[in-house]
Amino acid sequence: MAHDLGQLVYDRRTALGLSQAELAERCGMKQPQISRIEGGGTMPTIPLLRRLARALDADLTIELTPHHAAA
């Protein structure tokens, strides 16, 4: 899950033409933190995900999907 999230952050950041340092500044973070997130090395908290979403001009959606019972 951390790797998938990191890829989403990377894809959105590069689509906006932002460097890691620019994104970090928008979020009030340091560039190495962005690097760790994008590399899948850390799983951000929900408040940090909200800040990232705002900085990336994106919506944050969290969803719980029930497992389907075996028939």
pLDDT of residue 26: 96
Question: Is residue 70 over pLDDT 70?
Answer: no
pTM of the model as a whole? 0.86
Q: Please choose, from the candidates 21, 69, 30, the residue with its C-alpha nearest in 3D space to the C-alpha of residue 48.
A: 30
Q: The CATH number of 2-55 is which of 1.20.140.10, 3.30.70.1900, 1.10.260.40, 3.40.30.10?
A: 1.10.260.40
User: Residue 2 in 3-state DSSP?
Assistant: helix
Cβ-Cβ contacts under 8 Å for 5 (sequence gap 6 or more): 37, 40, 43, 44
Q: For residues 36-57, give the mean pLDDT.
A: 95
